[in-house]
Amino acid sequence: MSASAASPPRSISTTPDALTVEWSDGTRHRFPSLWLRDNVPEHRDPHSGQRLVDIADLPGNPRIRAAAVDGGRLRIEWQGEERASSLELGWLVRQARRMRSVRPQLTPRHWLEGASLDATRDFARARLADARRDPALRLQWMSRLLEDGVAFLSHAGHGEGSLLEAMRLLGQVAETNYGQAFDVRSVPQPENLAYSDLGLGLHTDNPYREPVPGFQALHALVCSPDGGESLFADGFALAEHLRASRPADFALLSEVAVPFLYRSANAELYAERPLIQVSARGAVSAVHYNSRSIAPLDPACGRLVEYYAAYRRFAGLLREPRFQLRFKLADAEIVVFDNQRILHGRTAFSSARHARHLRGCYLTRDSVYSTAALLERSLESEAPHDGR
């Protein structure tokens, strides 16, 4: 919709249960009376914008008596009420825009055939200094991160504090039993197999935690020239592939919660969740897969044999090379990825021959989305308007 906040509507029409607005560009939007009555500005705190009333305080069946444009506002009179409501037209325009489009950051762009992609070409990349200096570039980079689930920052330095400093640009670092940051390198008798030379199959981190970490960042401090390549796959695309090819398997993996457990000297973490999580609208909203931390399934489960078969077929998909994006992190490079969508792993390496040291951290999911939205809001407020 191209109408600006200053553009008056071409016409408005009402029935008792709805108001229809035709904007200056010919688009039309219908606003139900229930929705309008629920959003009158007098029921919100003028400073915080938070609601002052509960839905139970409002009329159950509000009816519109009349409506008219008065300057930059829409005045609505209600049947059986003396007091009229006044809605800012600019606010109504913004709601109409929201009805018509979804922010691209909230619409994942699936990539199934990871082997056909090039990590240096097909995903967002930026020099850290450039992303720090240029808010527009940072928003573009973050939008791609939210759409694709993976993005890269180069020339991030080698200091052990460099990662946390860089992540302040993106959101809030989540502190766990591993601390704010953790070192991924081989140690004797590791409590987590990530701290070994072993190759790791595709997985998501910490499904045993509440909440599951939203985003993860890994910073290459010392790169091994032999082995230790990174493997990534789009869990959303794989889950949708399973839904299309084996709908019964998808249903089982999204309906049955499984136990995840992590034990160490200083932590005892347990949670139950499905391997594939769907939203209220039925879209895949998270994938939780970690064969190292899944606990024994309930042997009394009535669908145990069926479940194991579906679980095995999904695991088989994760092993197919065609679904895997394979790359080696460059020196001083950071990869950031959605830990509730993107599965990651690595090939084996030998720390006796070549050192390998990554530094990692987790970011809260809501803070990353909030940072992107605030950047967008800030840049929109600075943009010149056409004055219509």
Which is it for strands 200-203 and 342-346: parallel, antiparallel or unpaired?
antiparallel
Which of 308, 328, 287 shows the shortest CA–CA distance to 204? 287
Q: Which fold has domain 108-374?
A: Double-stranded beta-helix (3.60.130)
Cβ atoms of residues 373 and 170 within 8 Å: no
Average pLDDT (261-276) is: 95
Q: Where in the chain is the domain with CATH 3.30.2020.30?
A: 11-101
Which element (helix H / strand E) includes 284? Answer: strand 284-287
Write the Ramachandran bin of 385: left for phi over 0, alpha for psi from -120 to 50, otherwise beta.
Answer: beta
Q: Where in the chain is the domain with CATH 3.60.130.10?
A: 108-374
Residues 182-220: tens digit of each pLDDT: 998 765 555 666 666 777 899 999 999 999 999 999 999
C-alpha 155/C-alpha 162 separation (Å) is: 10
C-alpha 33/C-alpha 62 separation (Å) is: 6
Instruction: Quote the pTM value.
Output: 0.85
Residues 5-56: tens digit of each pLDDT: 446 888 999 999 999 999 888 888 899 999 999 998 888 888 888 989 898 9
Which element (helix H / strand E) includes 343? Answer: strand 342-346
Q: What is the pLDDT of residue 3?
A: 40
Please give the class, per CATH, of domain 11-101: alpha beta
Burial 209-240 (b: 16+ CB within 10 A, else e): beebbbbbbbbbbebbeebbbbbbbbbbbbbb
